[in-house]
Structure 1
Amino acid sequence: MPGLSAELVQQLYRTPPDRFVAARDAAVADARRAGDPTTARQLARLRRPTVAAWLVNLLAIRRPELVADLVQLADALRVAQRELRGPRLRELSAQRRAVVGALVAEVRKLAAAEPDAPSANRLPLAEVEETLNAAFSDVEVAEQVRAGRLLRAASYAGFGEVPRPQLRLVTGDEEEREAERPARRPGPQRGRPEAAPRPDRAAERAEQAAQRAARVERARQRRALDRELAKAQADQERAEAELTEATGQERDGAAVLDGLEAELAELERRRAVAEQDLSRAKLARRAAERAVTVARRRAGEVEAAVEALAAEEGNADAGGGAAD
């Protein structure tokens, strides 16, 4: 947008969705105070992204080199699909699964580093994964992902572009049968001898035979492409089934991990409480030990005083008896 810095836009789309509107309105107010109504209007037109779109934008802003790799691979995959290159298509499809899986893992890490991000078990990673897959089939989605301006998750409906050859549909092998059928020669007309074909007529028949042969060859190529396409689609279905299973396993694993982390946090809390109780018990024991020491000392002093008093009384009694 003219007059609107890319840094400010990135800062806004890096902001979690629940704080986006407040941050955008504050930026609008700053632009108006600075006497820049054009920028203020452009900022006011920015819309809040969904959580899934925010995560994809965060990936594009924080790790643009990874998103650039995704876009480059998407371009190569679309070329292979248009050319129906089976081995290359399978290779790129395997790379696509690996890249999308790595990017989803990176999104989880980036979200964990954001202080106001939702908890790990509430992240819409399935929508993130679907959006990244959609970038492989839709150039516009790929460009939005790379720009970090996505507003909502995109849907992935298929295996990308699957151009089909512009061939006329035939049933069975009618074109081959037509090419193999011997050309009919007109029979002799009654009352007239059969005339030899003219040279221009022979050339026309040769051209027609060549055209039939070309149609047969195109039909053969079409069937070969159909077989290759069917195999590619079967590989796609198998790969998508594996992806679905792996995604489910990842979600289950994340749920187990979240549960263990919650249990660990509870154990840590209980440990801290136990350590505090133990510390208080140690202090109480030491205070009791000091009290026992003081009491024992005092008891010893009192016992000594009693013994001294008894000795004095004994001495006094002995002295009185001697005087008598």
Structure 2
Amino acid sequence: MDFDEAADELYGVLPSEFTATRKRLAGELPRDDARRLTAMRRPTVPAWAVNLLVRDDAVGPVLELGERMRAAWSEGGDLTALDRERDSVVDDLVRRARTLADEAGRPLSDAFADEVDETLRAAIADPSAAEAVRAGRLDHPLRHAGFGPFGAAAPPARPKPPPRRTKKAREDDEAARKEREDGEAARRERERRERQERERRAERARAAEREAEEAERSLAEWASSVEEARRRLADAERDLDDLRRRVHEAEARQTDLSRRAQVAEREHRRAERTAREARRRARDLAADAS
């Protein structure tokens, strides 16, 4: 397995399995590649969902549409039809991402689905974002900061002045215009509130993700501490076994020396008896000789 194969596999697993998979794959790579892989960050849930779309070969329409829209914009063309197509393609892919996430066992919340939507729109507007999506190794969702009024329809041509109309018609037109303006203002206000609510949900989701990542890092640190404590305990147990062996050997030597001392004591007493007997016989022989 090379680095690219390992990285592709890593960013295809559930975020909850990322750390364990990264550790396993790093153990199968050369040292430098293992270090690069270990430095890779765990993806947020929305980024993981976009990576799922890449592995499902579903992002092609978005990337192709982005090329057409950017070309049309640079040429000053009308983006109205492309803008409608963008909304349709992105909506379809967000639904597909939710299906894939459900099948993988990690459903997408509305806030996460909004971030998938933003990432796909960023890939349409920005070539660098498109390449990041195409690679399938996102670790965070993307957001397009601006491409002029990208995606907006070209302004319509100025209409010719209408023929002179009656006062009643003009009043009706004015009322209709005011109604349209009020409706447009209400729509913009509604979209503003919806956008703010999406941003609040996304921020809460990101905060939850950050808390989850912090908890995972703490867990990894504790796991490392436990592993180190286990290693030290194993070393201490080996040292204790060695000390026990040495004590056993010392006790065996002490027993052997004690046994030898007893044998030497018996031999010493036997030698003393032999010497006394020899002296006694010598005295007897001397007496007989005299």
In the superposition, the TM-score normalised over structure 2's length comes to 0.50
Classify the secondary structure of the residue corresponding to 2:17: helix
Q: Which residue matches 2:65?
A: 73
Q: Does 1:104 align with 2:98?
A: no
Q: Which residue matches 1:28?
A: 26
Classify the secondary structure of the residue corresponding to 2:3: coil
Q: 1:150 aligns with which of 135, 138, 141?
A: 138
What amino acid maps onto 2:55 in structure 1?
I
Q: Which residue matches 1:129?
A: 117
Whole-Å separation in 2 of the counterparts to 1:156 and 1:5: 27
Q: Which residue matches 2:10?
A: 12
CA drift of 1:79 comes to 0.8
Whole-Å separation in 1 of the counterparts to 2:4 and 2:110: 32
CA drift of 1:14 comes to 1.2
C-alpha distance 95-111 of structure 1, shift in aligned 2 (>3 A): same
Q: Which residue matches 2:80?
A: 90
Structure 2 portions without partners, runs of 5+: 158-183, 199-290
Whole-Å separation in 2 of the counterparts to 1:24 and 1:82: 42
Q: Which residue matches 2:277?
A: none
Tell me which stretches of 4 or more aligned residues in structure 1 moved more than 6 Å.
none
Deviations 1:63-108 (A, max 9, x none): x2x211111110100111111112xx11111110000000000001
CA drift of 1:110 comes to 0.1
Question: Contact (CA 8 Å) 1:49, 1:151: kept in 2 or not?
Answer: yes
In the superposition, the TM-score normalised over structure 1's length comes to 0.45
C-alpha distance 59-130 of structure 1, shift in aligned 2 (>3 A): same
Classify the secondary structure of the residue corresponding to 1:132: helix
Question: Contact (CA 8 Å) 2:80, 2:154: kept in 1 or not?
Answer: no
Whole-Å separation in 2 of the counterparts to 1:161 and 1:80: 13
**Two-structure CA RMSD over aligned residues (Å):** 3.3
C-alpha distance 10-60 of structure 1, shift in aligned 2 (>3 A): same
C-alpha distance 39-157 of structure 1, shift in aligned 2 (>3 A): closer
Deviations 1:122-162 (A, max 9, x none): 6610011011111111111111111111121111344x355
Whole-Å separation in 2 of the counterparts to 1:120 and 1:127: 10
Whole-Å separation in 2 of the counterparts to 1:61 and 1:14: 8
C-alpha distance 129-123 of structure 1, shift in aligned 2 (>3 A): same
Question: Contact (CA 8 Å) 1:135, 1:142: kept in 2 or not?
Answer: yes
What amino acid maps onto 2:13 in structure 1?
T
Aligned pair count? 166
Q: 1:139 aligns with which of 124, 127, 138?
A: 127
C-alpha distance 121-26 of structure 1, shift in aligned 2 (>3 A): same
Question: Contact (CA 8 Å) 2:77, 2:154: kept in 1 or not?
Answer: no
Whole-Å separation in 2 of the counterparts to 1:50 and 1:121: 13
What amino acid maps onto 1:105 in structure 2?
R
Whole-Å separation in 2 of the counterparts to 1:113 and 1:55: 11
